[in-house]
Structure 1
Amino acid sequence: MKIRKVIKWAAVAVSIAMPLTVVNMVSAYVDNGSAMARASLIQTDVVRLALLAGDIRILPPADASALLARHGLNSPEALQTKIEVAQASFAQTRADVENTSRRVWRDTAIGFFA
């Protein structure tokens, strides 16, 4: 008799928890998707800035300064600072992507087992 009550209460607990696991799974997938999109945008920005730095190195100083001015920068040092900031931002975003990926796996496993 007691085993039946325990099983009955376990079934009730699982049925109550089920919608919460689905919400957690959906939230994890949305967070992971937005983190991946942010990482992609920042990576594109880092590559663009690195290409700009390469262009600046091979151009004559007058042309290089005009190119920097077109991008809202006043010196190669400002460009280097912007590259470093973008790389740090990308590293942080990449860590966020890894964390959200782990959360997706964890919440998906919990959702399927519940």
Structure 2
Amino acid sequence: MRVDLALAAVSAAFLLTGCGAEDDTQRFARQAVESHVAGDAAYEDDVRCTPNPRPWLVETQATSVICAVRKTTGGCDWFRVDLVRDTVRVKAEVRFDQPDAGCVLPS
């Protein structure tokens, strides 16, 4: 019984850490992609991006993020956001990555 309870607690922790709100990097990348495709009738305003990696539950800062942008005709294109640090701040360099890549992002 104790083992079942411990497994349930660990499973809940994994779900909470992996299925929460977007992190700061995701938000920054999403907003950059939204600005990049703004006014392009080929895209809806549904943008989702990969999170910062968390190997062994320790978050590391991503240098590149992939974002899926839903197309008005269906499906998604992927955009790559490279996070480039200059002397003062981080800039987002957005570029088209893959056409019709699907709407499910790698984890």
Alignment TM class, shorter chain as reference:
0.3 to 0.5
The structure with the larger Rg is 1
Report the structure, 1 or 2, having the larger strand content: 2
TM-score, length-scaled by structure 2: 0.35
- Tell which has more relative contact order, 1 or 2 (C-alpha 8 A, sep 6+): 1
TM-score, length-scaled by structure 1: 0.33
Report the structure, 1 or 2, having the larger helix content: 1
